[in-house]
Structure 1
């Protein structure tokens, strides 16, 4: 069976070779959903790092996660979590994005409150089911640093990760590179990640398609998992059909960029 993927922005037919087919093994795959929390997605004027481009992704990501669970794929929700003292960032050596990104968007008044543990900004907006796992110690752009994500994946015997969430041109890109460096197979779900704007998102997806693994639509990835996973799962088939509708969605860029 053939599937479609994106190589440098162009949709192509995935080669039917063992190296590519090895990416589609549901039992050894986890979806890693990055930073879909109130600190990015709240509509409050106090939101410490607003990323409105991610808001339309919440429902499609939830639908995709439902279909993935039905097919035996694990779901791991990752978010940034910083100590209230500020030692991890603003009162230690601050993250570089606090300067450059803030300047680019014209300043973020409540930026010092971003991702503080115990605050309202760390609540996940995507649905977390009891069987899901969470990683809440991400402190920089990569979901692996300095969290225990790699330890968790190895404990679960996961070899392939599929990335959803925020933001394509920084956290998703950094996570994809680090995962690849750690020898995981990486699939970036291109219609379920959002970045700073169209230009940077497009560039990041092209870079990942050349250097970190596969870039695929959610519906196409679900079809691949369904074909290679357990057969005869009616619930899985219906969930795949529902989640595949996310392929048609369009996500707006950040206002003013």
Structure 2
């Protein structure tokens, strides 16, 4: 692993990691509790892509469970300005299908998230300063137009749907803010943030301000209980916030 960028859990013991200067690697985590341990492990599979769909500068990845025990790995190829899809089985994780999935409107896709109802893909587009939303109920391909656009994020990076899919949180690498977008009647069309919350103080943000594109939050996730937001960037390794403090409303999702 070199320039590790994005990751996702395929299940509680299997992790997929996107490596900007290499490939996408799948790891089986060692058994037992992780706290207080240091382990060297090797990937159980590396995904390279297909003949006409080679992985190049993979940055972020999302795992989507399909029928018959298969998993789709949706990968942002950062400097190829596209998202590719790699379908693997759960018995060895060998890729049997590789395809270019999304490209229209993307410029340096830095983050990707899937809605919990399986209907939407959100992709942050660094070069166009927005987030593109694609409707998965339609057939997707490189020429598919985004159905929705989230605006007014300087340099969007990590992003996540809340557990009820009513809101999307977006980390803005070019400011100290997390932006909150509301679904309203649906995710189609353009919208601006309903709320923006500082997750870095001015001093911390300034220390990481090497350029107008840097200094702010990048990594972002919401825990399984839909109550805690985790944020990370170069100068702030990991910070936790209540989801309510970010969205301004209590979560409506109840975990199963």
For normalisation by structure 1, the TM-score amounts to: 0.25
Structure number with the bigger relative contact order (C-alpha 8 A, sep ≥ 6) is: 1
